[in-house]
Structure 1
Amino acid sequence: MKKHILIVLYIHVFGFFSAQVSDTITISRKEAEAVFLANNLDLIAQKLEISQAEARTVQAKFWPNPTLSISEVNLWKTYDIEAQPALIGNWGKSSQVAVEIEQVIQTAGKRRKNIELAKIDVDGEQYELQEVLRELKKILRNTVTEILYNQEQQKIYQGQIASIEKLTKSYNNQLSLGNISKAEYVRLKAQEIEFKKKLISLHQEIQEQQMELKALLILPAKKYIVISDPFTMPEKDLSELEVDQWTEKAKENRPDILMAKNQEKYAQKNLELQNAMKTPDVTVSMNYDRGGNIMKDFVGVGVAVDLPIFDRNKGNIQEAKLEIEKTKIETRKNMLKSENEISSVFKNYIKTKEISHDIDDAYESTLDGLLISHEKNFRLRNIGMLEYMDFLDTYIGNKMIILDTKKELNQYYENLQYVVGQDL
């Protein structure tokens, strides 16, 4: 039964890698971002929305089309009428026709105000693109961090599996010779299986992260991505003195705040338009009437205008005023949100940074050296199984603490850039 379990583990763990060698893509953080900016479909779709808004601006510049009306045309012969000259060939001597052309002229600057609203809408779509980019960059960078984190875990467990397999093989030989107890062999074998099970679990996590990253980079499902960067802590030092500066930057750069401010401008301009709507538009017309008046060929002009007696657009004006108040509240809310987010994320970053000060390259190197020493002494039977296993647990635990600290620092640093609204 144990042999069957081990065979399954080998198939999953090592077959997983061999199946992907030909489809592996090795890429750095910087290269991943370049591919993301060029290929991401969400960004491309949002850019098309900007183009659509620009097209609406072009459309808003056009005057309404004139209206041409042809009426009073009799399709049958009419008797007892005054003689009239033919219109086309011999046709038209007994026919009547009226032609009218009308043009609506917008008053109170309605056309100009609609153009300005369309331009504000273009700005809004551009801020929306920035917001989509901000959200997706955060997801991309954190996904890359997660992959790097799990790649490092893989190295740890693969190294331990390679080492413990040698020990297990040696102990199996010693068990056959009767030099050790079966309990010692089983304990070592159990640890080997536990490491392999953890490695399989890591593969499952990586597959989810791979799926997320390939969706962002628009890569085929069969590809397997390896991040080439070393897994390090953020190099830039951040100071609490910069928090106020970041808060001001956020008010100027965060897309959600810019979108809220843009909505304020839109609401204000819409109020101007609704006030202008109180003034009725004017329709001017020119008409020609053949055979329907005391004149054989009558040409006249006319003007039409609505009388603003009942509808003075009061409801829409009141709604526009309330919309201005609402957008001001939304802007204020987003500003307060940004202040709280910057303060909270920075505090988490600093607390994690304090832990990282106790971790340096010398400490990690010392840890690796002690593991080699314990493995050697265990093979030479200078230390017992219990002492070796205790140190192995300590080693794995400390390695995970180091990796967790690096991951959290990278994530908090990226979250800080996200809440500030620009790269620091």
Structure 2
Amino acid sequence: MKHILFILFFTAGTCAAQVTVAKDTITLDRQQAEALFLEKNIALLAGRLDMDIAEAQVVQAKLWPNPTLTVSEINLWSNATAEKLPPLWRNFGTTSEVAVSLEQIIITAGKRRKMISMEKVSADMAKEYFSEMLRNLKLEFRNTMTDLQLTQLQQKIYKKQVSSIQVLTAAYAKQVQQGNTASAEYTRLKAAEIQFLRDLSELDRENNRLQKELKVLMSLPSSSYIKLSDDGFAPDLADIARLQLSLLIEQALENRPDVKSAKLASLYSNEKYKYERALRTPDITLQASYDRGGNIMNNFVGFGFAIDLPFFNRNQGNIKAARASIKQSELLVEQKTITVQAEVIEAYSNLQASLQLYSEFSNGLEGELDKLLDSYFRSFRQRDTSLILYLDYVNAYIENKAIILNTRKNISAQYEELKYITGQEL
């Protein structure tokens, strides 16, 4: 009796929780969920700003240095030795001195143009970094959706079995009260019911975990409950059958953002080397000055220039470091190429292995399992099948359904992984 009260309390609590959550249920298919993810994900919104920052750096590199205006030698009073000068205004300023100078740096050796080239490469790298972040988040999001779909499909299976076995336990309870059935069979049925409810509770916890992850990825309110349709749980096998390993490797080397980033890093190292070499040539500062009353002539105007003399520092260390960076980036591109090729082969092989296993189920086995389960249920109700045989088949049914669903899930996850590794649009 205690077990029965526990089950009734547990079931009532579960139903109440579902009623509460249902108020904020959001029913989506995979395309709708992904569109919401792309629109609302905070990490993507922040990542896009990195590209804006990089583009702003290109604009900054194009700007010329500002000229420098200096006003000096202004005397606030005079003494007895002051010479008389023409007044600045009426009778004011006959002993006032002032000096004004204007300076402008002239960047030499094409350093400004080389800096612009470096910043443009940096902007392209920022775009590839964002593409890499986007495809990583997409892969995580899609796999989480697949996990949630799997969990919800498993929940349907267990809820159906719980419903069926509860019908049987209710019927057997009446038979036990009437003395027509031994209580041992009723106890065995009730134990199986508790086992199914425990498994369903574990699925509910897994569902809650996946709900949390998807709500964070889609920036949904915490009170939301996501219900995904079954569409797209497994990919189209016809699309997978057309895959060719050699073409996949070519696509990966051509399309992957991390490969592009490695090549851009090598290009950036070359541009950096050019810029460091240009720094050997000193910039020139042009000067123009005006001096009132501070020179051998009144209202003196003069011109000049300033330039560093590269006797000691000709940027030798930075040039050497930039040259080494070029070699380093070339080695990293080579390593990335080898890594990508190996990753494509591994992902392709894993997908083929899962397809081989799934081919065992493609002959209608899943439908036959459902029909046979219904047949066993009817036979057991009519007492044509023993309790042990019925429960053994139910357990075998659930295990086989789990194998089929997990194989489909693995195919979906591995297909997404293969698309991710080959740099295809996710």
Aligned position for 1:49: 50
Three-state SS of the structure 2 residue aligned to 1:357 is helix
CA distance 1:201–1:90, change in 2 (3 Å)? farther
Aligned counterparts of 2:8 and 2:176: Cα–Cα separation in 1: 22
Select 1:284's aligned residue among 286, 294, 304. 286
**TM-score, normalization: structure 2?**
0.96
Aligned position for 1:307: 309
Aligned position for 1:192: 193
Select 2:346's aligned residue among 322, 344, 347. 344
Q: CA deviation at 1:232?
A: 4.6
What RMSD in Å do the two structures reach over aligned CA positions? Answer: 1.5
Select 2:259's aligned residue among 257, 260, 269. 257
2:392 corresponds to 1:390:
yes
Q: CA deviation at 1:7?
A: 3.4
Aligned position for 2:421: 419
The question of whether the paired residues in 2 share the 8 Å contact of 1:79 and 1:94 is answered with no
Three-state SS of the structure 1 residue aligned to 2:360 is coil
Per-residue CA distance 1:280-304 (angstroms, 9 max, x = gap): 0000000111111110111000010
The question of whether the paired residues in 2 share the 8 Å contact of 1:160 and 1:195 is answered with yes
User: Percent same amino acid among aligned pairs?
Assistant: 41
Q: CA deviation at 1:398?
A: 0.6
2:400 corresponds to 1:401:
no
Aligned counterparts of 1:229 and 1:345: Cα–Cα separation in 2: 25
Q: CA deviation at 1:69?
A: 1.0
The question of whether the paired residues in 2 share the 8 Å contact of 1:289 and 1:297 is answered with yes
Higher mean displacement: 134-143 or 234-243: 234-243
Given residue 261 of structure 1, which amino acid in structure 2 is its aligned partner?
Answer: K
CA distance 1:403–1:12, change in 2 (3 Å)? farther
Select 1:323's aligned residue among 322, 325, 328. 325
CA distance 1:98–1:404, change in 2 (3 Å)? same
Aligned position for 1:74: 75
> What are the residue-to-residue correspondences of 1:172-191 with 2, within 5 Å?
172-191=173-192
Per-residue CA distance 1:259-282 (angstroms, 9 max, x = gap): 111111111101000000000000
Aligned position for 1:148: 149
Given residue 190 of structure 1, which amino acid in structure 2 is its aligned partner?
Answer: A
Select 1:333's aligned residue among 323, 335, 356. 335
CA distance 1:89–1:136, change in 2 (3 Å)? farther
Which structure 2 residue ranges, 5 or more long, are not aligned?
none
Aligned position for 2:362: 360
Q: CA deviation at 1:179?
A: 2.1
Aligned counterparts of 1:241 and 1:221: Cα–Cα separation in 2: 40
Q: How many residues align?
A: 424
Aligned counterparts of 2:3 and 2:240: Cα–Cα separation in 1: 53
Higher mean displacement: 379-388 or 278-287: 379-388
Aligned position for 1:105: 106
Aligned position for 1:85: 86
The question of whether the paired residues in 2 share the 8 Å contact of 1:103 and 1:283 is answered with yes
The question of whether the paired residues in 2 share the 8 Å contact of 1:267 and 1:327 is answered with yes
Per-residue CA distance 1:152-187 (angstroms, 9 max, x = gap): 101100000000000001111111122222221111
Per-residue CA distance 1:88-110 (angstroms, 9 max, x = gap): 44332112211111000010001
**TM-score, normalization: structure 1?**
0.97
Q: CA deviation at 1:237?
A: 3.9
> What are the residue-to-residue correspondences of 1:261-272 with 2, within 5 Å?
261-272=263-274
Aligned counterparts of 1:312 and 1:199: Cα–Cα separation in 2: 73
The question of whether the paired residues in 2 share the 8 Å contact of 1:13 and 1:200 is answered with no
Aligned counterparts of 2:201 and 2:232: Cα–Cα separation in 1: 21
Aligned counterparts of 1:245 and 1:34: Cα–Cα separation in 2: 29
Three-state SS of the structure 1 residue aligned to 2:11 is helix
Aligned position for 1:203: 204
Three-state SS of the structure 2 residue aligned to 1:358 is helix
Aligned counterparts of 2:311 and 2:232: Cα–Cα separation in 1: 74
Q: CA deviation at 1:308?
A: 0.2
Aligned counterparts of 1:302 and 1:78: Cα–Cα separation in 2: 32
Three-state SS of the structure 1 residue aligned to 2:361 is coil
Aligned counterparts of 1:251 and 1:296: Cα–Cα separation in 2: 72
Q: CA deviation at 1:5?
A: 2.2
The question of whether the paired residues in 1 share the 8 Å contact of 2:149 and 2:233 is answered with no
Aligned position for 1:243: 245
Per-residue CA distance 1:48-98 (angstroms, 9 max, x = gap): 111111111111111111111111221112322332012244332112211
Three-state SS of the structure 2 residue aligned to 1:233 is coil
The question of whether the paired residues in 2 share the 8 Å contact of 1:67 and 1:101 is answered with yes
Aligned position for 2:128: 127
Higher mean displacement: 13-22 or 161-170: 13-22
Aligned counterparts of 2:248 and 2:89: Cα–Cα separation in 1: 79
Select 1:376's aligned residue among 353, 365, 378. 378
